[in-house]
Amino acid sequence: MEEVALLLLLVQLPATAILLSRLLQAPGRQPPLQTRSPTPDLLGRVSVIVPTLNEAARISPCLEGLSRQGYEVREIIIVDSRSQDGTVDRVKAMQTHDPRFRVLTDDPLPSGWVGRPWALHTGFLHSSPDSEWILGIDADTQPQPGLVASLIQTAQQGGYDLISLAPQFILKELGEFWLQPALLITLIYRFGAAGSAADGADRVMANGQCFLCRRSLLTQLDGYTSARRSFCDDVTLARNAARSGAKVGFLDGANLLKVRMYEGMKETWQEWGRSLDLKDACSTPQKWGDLGFLIAVQGLPLLVTLGIAVYLILGGAATLPIRLALGLNGFLVLIRFALQWAIASSYDFTQARSAWTFWLALFADPLAVYRIFLSSLRTPTQWRGRQYQPLSASPSE
């Protein structure tokens, strides 16, 4: 047991130092964005693009939220990939109230492209050249009034070329309230809280659910071409932009954007879990290094703490390495409890039926890290109802 404790200390001590260096940036991070009113100089600055594929059941709040944005939005382009469920009919109904909406049907998916970046690329190519900004919005989001004006003014004041937002998540069921926060923590451990400065282009984080980019930067990057093969195209594109010298921000948008991503624990595990490793946006050493880091600081602490406690209760020798390992892992568990409280504002509890399980998400941490491991081993062949041949691409492509 003493040898195991020494091995744990050897691995976990440097990982804990890295974790603390990231978390200690939180007090200096940019505050959450707030609602802002548009000003006359913003007139017609933004083209909004919404990629859709069979979104009829959940797109209405997105369309209604976009219709409440001000005159800074020039056009709202819905790029539909031949939906069969009435998605287009819902958009056309909205057109009768707001002429800024228009529907495009993208061309058949070319070889080597994933559906989402292809739809966004199509929308970019068909957007007005007079729009200074391109805003990608997912169909499962609920934009709040003042979202777009806040984004543009924040970008102008901060000198950003690209901004994406961390939303407020709408959860409902017992299982998803237990699992989803543990999956979210894997991102915070690796990249810090939203609003924190990234440690280089390869550590940039992004969220394509709300992704604002200067048209000039997208033109420089040839639209979404550099992320065409990526199942995490948002992070891939943001990192490519950062490598080109662009100023990229990932900020807290919980006050301005809500999202109902998945229905229940099973769908959360399958759909979100398969891309959280971000393998399409990083090198192989970075992917496995991040996984090892997560195992050390998130997957093991609760198990080690409980295991050593049982060992000591059963009469095991409390040697110095064992006491140190217990103290270190207990400290990591305390950090995790504190983070659970800190991320509570990232969740909308108003529709919850089993919100109490949110506070038990710590016990899902080993499962969340295991899901990252599984995703790291596999290349997706199915996404949003589409089948793909195995794709491969370097993260710098």
pLDDT of residue 26 exceeding 90, the answer is no
Residues 221, 291 within the same domain: no
- Say if 114 falls within a structural domain: yes
Question: Strand runs (DSSP E) across 63-179, as ranges?
Answer: 73-80, 101-105, 133-137, 141-143, 162-166, 168-170
Q: What is the CATH number of the domain that holds 177?
A: 3.90.550.10
Of 209, 232, 263, the last residue of a domain is 263
Residues 169, 36 within the same domain: yes
pLDDT of residue 389 exceeding 70, the answer is no
- Say if 151 falls within a structural domain: yes
Report yes or no on whether pTM surpasses 0.75.
yes
Query: How many domains does the structure of the chain reveal?
Result: 2
Contacts for 219 with CB less than 8 Å, ≥ 6 apart:
none
- Residue pair 63/90 in contact by the 8 Å Cβ criterion: yes
Of 202, 234, 263, the last residue of a domain is 263
From 119, 111, 48, select the one nearest 82 (Cα to Cα).
Answer: 119
Measured distance between the N- and C-terminal CA atoms of the chain, rounded to whole angstroms: 46
pLDDT of residue 396 exceeding 50, the answer is no
Residues 231, 326 within the same domain: no
Domain of 12, in residue numbers: 2-26+284-387
Residues 216, 332 within the same domain: no
- Residue pair 120/49 in contact by the 8 Å Cβ criterion: yes
Residues 20, 35 within the same domain: no
- Residue 378's pLDDT is 84
Across residues 107-122, what is the average pLDDT?
94
- Residue 275's pLDDT is 85
Chain-wide mean pLDDT for the chain? 93
**pLDDT tens string 190-225:** 999 999 988 899 999 999 999 999 999 999 999 999
Q: What angle separates helix 284-294 from helix 365-377, to the nearest 10 degrees?
A: 160
Of 263, 292, 321, the last residue of a domain is 263
Residues 258, 326 within the same domain: no
Residues 253, 303 within the same domain: no
Residues 291, 153 within the same domain: no
pLDDT of residue 54 exceeding 80, the answer is yes
DSSP string, 259-279: E---SHHHHIIIIITTTTT-G
- Under the banding of pLDDT at 50, 70 and 90, the label for residue 237 is very high
Residues 209, 104 within the same domain: yes
- Say if 169 falls within a structural domain: yes
**pLDDT tens string 260-291:** 999 899 999 988 988 899 999 999 999 999 99
CA atoms within 13 A on the CB side of 289: 11
Degrees to nearest 5, angle at CA 360 with 354 and 363: 135
Residues 253, 294 within the same domain: no
The position carrying tokens 């539909």 is 80
Across residues 10-15, what is the average pLDDT?
97
- Say if 271 falls within a structural domain: no
Taking the C-alpha atoms of residue 162 and residue 310, their distance in angstroms, rounded to an integer, is 50
- Say if 393 falls within a structural domain: no
From 166, 350, 361, select the one nearest 256 (Cα to Cα).
Answer: 166
Taking the C-alpha atoms of residue 166 and residue 239, their distance in angstroms, rounded to an integer, is 17
Taking the C-alpha atoms of residue 307 and residue 292, their distance in angstroms, rounded to an integer, is 20
Taking the C-alpha atoms of residue 311 and residue 322, their distance in angstroms, rounded to an integer, is 10
- Say if 275 falls within a structural domain: no
Residues 220, 305 within the same domain: no
- Say if 53 falls within a structural domain: yes
Higher per-residue confidence, 275 vs 331: 331
Taking the C-alpha atoms of residue 154 and residue 254, their distance in angstroms, rounded to an integer, is 15
Residues 92, 106 within the same domain: yes
- Say if 270 falls within a structural domain: no
